[in-house]
């Protein structure tokens, strides 16, 4: 059973000292609770992190995070969920996906029931009870804007006082026309490369306001002229001087990390920044850092804050960062990489992570949390601050970026170790004996409780619904703290779409997955889309079915079988995993095409592994190590125990039809809120209930009937084991 935190919040009283002669002074105000700087790296699993003992032969160079890691605690046994949105919902809600219905990355077709509910007790709402201000900078990807009444205002509705970033989250695809200066497909990285790489070293750089600058690359240590121009917000026309801009220039197209539709929310007011606005035409990692610095430095000294810097990097599309953010090891900027190819992609992904680390260091220095030493190194002394720094990866690394000895075939999107094992670093004045490594199990849902522990808020008292978090603060204060968790848990699956729909199939190499939310996201991940709107041009391997596209991966295999082509491996559509200190159980369920009967059937496979965190080669859950392949009585006992624990967790959230506001009871307040939404919106909402086994994406009289039929029903919270 869960333990409750102390609800007491001790307020510091500041009194003026009067020396009797009228010359008294008042000390400067100090926040009564520590500030929280929460830094999220996207798609950076533990396999990337040299400070955790991994990284393979070519780890990204991350000196700034290494400094903080060694000045705080490195939690070396932390699980997240296998994808972006469920991982983020875990640490902002303290709940497993079985409670939030967010089981994969949120896409434009996912209904509001698979987005964070406006009634949820999010971390910023929780911290408001201790007078915290909260700002979020960068990627959101928790709710909206599609299929959500709040649209782009969802960050404010979910409790954030200030937001500067991208509600949908993902960077757009790379503009391979580089702003309309060449045919589509000409420039894989979205800019004109150097002359040596088939581009140009000089030309005209036009801005959306029709101003122009002539740019010439004069040194190998400079970025190509095209990248210099793109980084400034412009479109580069090679071999031209400034004058009337060519008619083909296009400033209204997204371009990966450099041109993105920005949303700014302040004082409840939402500003949607156009792509022609200079603020929307900057490298994301730099923009995210600048916005966080400005907000943090403007906070009043007597009120605590939580700043979430949710970096977009190193998520696809992989696109070269500006050279001034990279460590210049050999003094030259490597040029001419293909952003569509796997091997160059790994190089670019490393650079994106390194650029993130550079900007993280600047964030600390420019907010006064650290300084630079004589050699330019980061000097971080947590005891001199009133801020706790928490650094995480939101899920495991993408397959194409995985570092040895981790398994690329069992990476992001799966519940195997490479998909869920993520870095967690916590540093601050509360840490006793900094520099320690913690080997005990932690889950990303536990961060929710850590934020509350820092603020002095009672998680259980403030939540009418189930919270899965375990305490974390004891590890900071007590070097001898034994493990709090006895088990760990993660899961993945499909989000809820109207009438039982799902994302279309995406074929990547010899596998098929339905994780990519759209055709463009599939292609950004070096895949080929087989869903509606598939391509049939040169190079396409899609079997034409009249333009309808295929609904699920099993349909793709049926078409391949009938065409006499090899079948694809299908990534699990529903997956769960649980572990104890030594063993891990994985359960994967997938719809498979069965050639013998020409049918599609669900097939479930369970695997049991012995795992550990050994450096540099941990025991991983690879297919050759499945203990159930030759189960002994001892193995069978371990399997039955873990299976029972998994089943208990999965069964711990019974449906509560009619309770749309999550207060655990179906009553008149549900009818009132249904009425407001049905008349003002009418589309997908948390008051769209399952009818005849599906959600229809509407909030209408059918849903009112569900509430009426269940009036008086109570759904008390359950307590998940940890």
Q: Give pLDDT tens digits for 28-40.
A: 455 679 999 999 9
pLDDT of residue 652: 93
343 vs 72: which has the higher pLDDT: 72
The pLDDT of residue 29: 52
- The pLDDT confidence band at residue 330, using thresholds 50, 70 and 90, is low
Confidence of residue 721 (pLDDT cuts 50, 70, 90): confident
Position 220 scores a pLDDT of 82
Percent of the chain topping pLDDT 70: 95
Interval 666-702: pLDDT, tens: 999 999 999 999 999 999 999 999 999 999 999 999 9
pLDDT tens-digit series, residues 166-199: 999 889 999 999 999 999 999 999 999 999 999 9
Is pLDDT of 263 > 60? yes
Q: Which residues neighbour 707 within 8 Å (Cβ) at sequence distance 6 or greater?
A: 658, 660, 666, 670, 671, 674, 687, 689
Cβ count within 10 A of residue 86: 29
* 37/694 Cα distance (integer angstroms): 40
Q: In this structure, are residues 224 and 191 in contact, taking their beta carbons and an 8 Å threshold?
A: yes
Of residues 8 and 602, more confidently modeled: 602
Start-end of CATH 3.40.720.10 domains in the chain: 35-172+256-491
Strand blocks (E) in 157-201:
162-166
Of 120 and 330, the structure prediction assigns the larger pLDDT to: 120
Query: What pLDDT does 20 receive?
Result: 34
C-alpha 687 chain-centroid distance: 26
pLDDT score for 464: 86
* pLDDT for residue 334: 72
Question: What is the three-class DSSP state of 704?
Answer: helix
CA angle 436, 390, 407 (to 5 degrees): 75
pTM of the entire predicted model: 0.94
User: Do residues 311 and 356 lie in contact, with contact meaning Cβ atoms separated by under 8 Å?
Assistant: yes
Q: What's the pLDDT tens digit per position in 624-669?
A: 999 999 989 999 999 999 999 999 999 999 999 999 999 999 999 9
3 state DSSP class of 196: helix
Say if residue 276 is exposed, middle or buried (CB neighbours under 10 Å; 0-12, 13-18, 19+).
middle
Q: Record the tokens describing residue 629, joined without a space.
A: 């392949």
Q: What is the DSSP letter of 139?
A: E
Query: Rounded mean pLDDT of the chain?
Result: 93
Phi, psi of 298 (to 5 degrees): -95, 0
> CA 540, CA 711: separation in Å to the nearest integer?
54
Using DSSP's 3-state secondary structure scheme, residue 242 falls into coil
Is residue 453 scored above 80 in pLDDT?
A: yes
Confidence of residue 386 (pLDDT cuts 50, 70, 90): very high
Instruction: Please check whether residue 681 is in contact with residue 670, taking contact to mean a CB–CB distance below 8 angstroms.
Output: no
User: Quick one: which H or E segment has residue 75?
Assistant: strand 73-79
Instruction: Name the percent of the chain lying above pLDDT 90.
Output: 89
The size of the chain, in residues, is 722
pLDDT greater than 50 at residue 4: no
pLDDT at residue 14, as a whole number: 19
Confidence label for 19 from pLDDT (cuts 50, 70 and 90):
very low
Q: How far apart are CA 399 and CA 419, in angstroms?
A: 9
Burial 479-489 (b: 16+ CB within 10 A, else e): eebeebbebbb
Task: Answer whether the bond into residue 317 is a cis peptide, omega within 30°.
Answer: yes
Reported as a single tens digit per residue, the pLDDT across 478-516 is 999 999 999 999 999 999 999 999 999 999 999 999 999
Strand partners, 427: 389
Neighbouring residues of 343: CB distance < 8 A, sequence distance ≥ 6: none
63 has pLDDT over 70: yes
**Token digits of residue 248:** 């083909």
Fold of the domain built from segment(s) 35-172+256-491: Alkaline Phosphatase, subunit A (3.40.720)
pLDDT bracket for residue 345 (50, 70, 90): confident
Euclidean distance between CA atoms 471 and 713, whole angstroms: 31
As a whole number of angstroms, the distance between CA 212 and CA 206 comes to 4
Rounded mean pLDDT, 221-238? 96
Taking CA atoms, 234 is separated from 42, 183, 204, 272, 302, in Å, by: 27, 18, 9, 20, 41
Average pLDDT over every residue of 429-443: 97
pLDDT of residue 331: 54
Q: CB count, 10 Å around CB of 106?
A: 31
DSSP string across 631-694:
--HHHHHHHHHHHHHHHHHHTS----TT--SSSSB-SHHHHHHHHHHHHHT-BS-TT---BTTB
Does the pLDDT of residue 444 top 90, yes or no?
A: yes
Helix count and strand count (H, E) for the chain: 16, 24
The answer to whether 142 and 92 are in contact (CB under 8 A) is: yes
Q: What is the pLDDT of residues 609-631, one digit of tens each?
A: 999 999 999 999 999 999 999 98
Q: Considering Cα of 252, then 502, then 570, then 44, what sign does the dihedral take?
A: positive
pLDDT attached to residue 219:
87
Asked if pLDDT for residue 23 goes beyond 50, the answer is no
Q: What is the mean pLDDT of residues 154-170?
A: 96
Torsion region of 464: left, alpha or beta (phi above 0 gives left; psi -120 to 50 gives alpha): alpha
pLDDT score of 11: 21
In three state form, how does the secondary structure of 497-557 look?
A: EHHHCCCCCEEECCEEECCCCCHHHHHHCCCEECCCCCCCCCCCCCCCCCCCCCCCHHHHH
On the question of pLDDT at 266 being above 50, the answer is yes
**Which residues are registered as beta bridge partners of 36?**
306, 388
Rounded to whole angstroms, the Cα distance separating 437 from 74 reads 5
Write the CA distances from 460 to 1, 3, 221, 437, 698, integer angstroms. Answer: 12, 9, 55, 29, 33
DSSP codes, 263-283? EEEETTEEEEE-TTSGGGSS-
């Amino acid at each position: 059973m869960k333990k409750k935190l102390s609800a007491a919040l001790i307020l510091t009283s500041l009194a003026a000292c009067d020396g009797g002669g009228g010359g008294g002074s008042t000390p400067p105000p100090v926040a009564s609770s520590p500030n929280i700087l929460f830094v999220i790296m996207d798609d950076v699993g533990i396999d990337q992190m040299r400070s955790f003992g991994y990284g393979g032969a070519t780890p990204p160079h991350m000196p700034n995070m290494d400094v903080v890691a060694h000045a705080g605690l490195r939690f070396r046994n932390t699980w997240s969920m296998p994808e972006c949105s469920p991982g983020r919902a875990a640490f902002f809600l303290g709940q497993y996906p079985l409670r939030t219905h967010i089981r994969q990355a949120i896409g434009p077709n996912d209904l509001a029931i698979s987005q964070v509910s406006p009634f949820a007790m999010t971390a910023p709402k929780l911290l408001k009870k201790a007078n915290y201000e909260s700002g979020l900078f960068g990627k959101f990807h928790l709710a909206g804007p599609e299929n959500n009444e709040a649209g782009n205002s969802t960050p404010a509705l979910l409790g954030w006082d200030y937001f500067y970033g991208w509600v949908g989250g993902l960077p757009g695809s790379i503009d391979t026309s580089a702003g309309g200066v060449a045919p589509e497909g000409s420039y894989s990285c979205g800019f004109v490369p150097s002359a040596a790489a088939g581009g140009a070293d000089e030309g005209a750089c036009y801005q959306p306001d029709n101003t122009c600058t002539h740019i010439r690359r004069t040194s190998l240590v400079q970025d190509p002229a095209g990248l210099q121009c793109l980084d400034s917000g412009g479109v580069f026309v090679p071999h031209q001087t400034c004058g009337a801009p060519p008619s083909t220039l296009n400033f209204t197209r997204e371009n990966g990390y450099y041109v993105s539709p920005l949303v700014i929310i302040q004082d409840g007011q939402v500003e949607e920044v156009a792509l022609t606005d200079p603020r929307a035409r900057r490298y994301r990692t730099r923009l995210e850092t600048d916005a966080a610095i400005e907000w943090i430095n403007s906070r009043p000294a007597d009120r605590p804050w939580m700043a979430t810097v949710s970096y977009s990097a190193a998520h696809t599309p992989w696109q070269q960062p500006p050279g001034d953010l990279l460590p210049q090891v050999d003094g030259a900027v490597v040029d001419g990489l293909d952003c569509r190819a796997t091997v160059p992609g790994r190089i670019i992904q490393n650079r994106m992570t390194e650029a993130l680390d550079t900007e993280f260091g600047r964030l600390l220095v420019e907010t006064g949390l650290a300084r630079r030493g004589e050699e330019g190194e980061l000097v971080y002394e947590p005891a001199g601050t009133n801020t706790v720094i928490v650094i995480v990866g939101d899920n495991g690394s993408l397959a194409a970026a995985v570092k040895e000895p981790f398994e690329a075939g069992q990476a992001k999107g799966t519940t195997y170790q490479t998909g869920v094992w993520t870095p967690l670093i916590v540093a601050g004045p509360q840490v006793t004996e900094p520099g320690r490594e913690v080997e005990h199990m932690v889950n990303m849902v536990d961060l929710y409780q850590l934020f509350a522990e820092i603020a002095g808020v009672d998680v259980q008292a403030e939540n009418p619904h189930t919270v899965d978090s375990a305490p974390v603060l004891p590890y900071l204060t007590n070097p001898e703290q034994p493990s709090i968790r006895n088990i760990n848990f993660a899961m993945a699956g499909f989000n809820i779409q109207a009438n039982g729909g799902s994302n279309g199939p995406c074929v990547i190499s010899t596998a098929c997955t339905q994780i990519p939310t759209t055709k463009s996201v599939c292609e950004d991940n070096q895949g080929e889309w087989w869903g509606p709107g598939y391509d049939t041009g040169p190079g396409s391997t899609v079997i034409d079915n009249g333009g309808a596209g295929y609904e699920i991966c099993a349909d793709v295999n049926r078409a391949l079988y009938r065409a006499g082509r090899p079948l694809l491996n299908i990534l699990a559509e529903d997956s769960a995993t649980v572990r104890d200190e030594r063993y891990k159980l994985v359960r994967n369920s997938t719809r498979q095409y069965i050639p013998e009967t020409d049918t599609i059937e669900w097939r479930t496979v369970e695997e049991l592994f012995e795992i550990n965190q050994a450096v540099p080669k941990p025991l991983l859950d690879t297919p050759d190590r499945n203990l159930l392949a030759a189960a002994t009585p001892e193995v069978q006992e371990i399997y039955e125990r873990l299976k029972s624990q998994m089943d208990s967790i999965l069964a711990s959230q019974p449906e509560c039809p009619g309770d749309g506001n999550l207060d655990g009871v179906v009553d008149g307040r549900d009818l009132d809120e249904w009425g407001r939404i049905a008349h003002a919106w009418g589309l997908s909402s948390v008051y769209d209930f399952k009818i005849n086994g599906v959600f229809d994406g509407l909030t209408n009289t059918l849903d009112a009937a569900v509430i009426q039929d269940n009036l008086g029903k109570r759904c008390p919270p359950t307590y998940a084991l940890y």
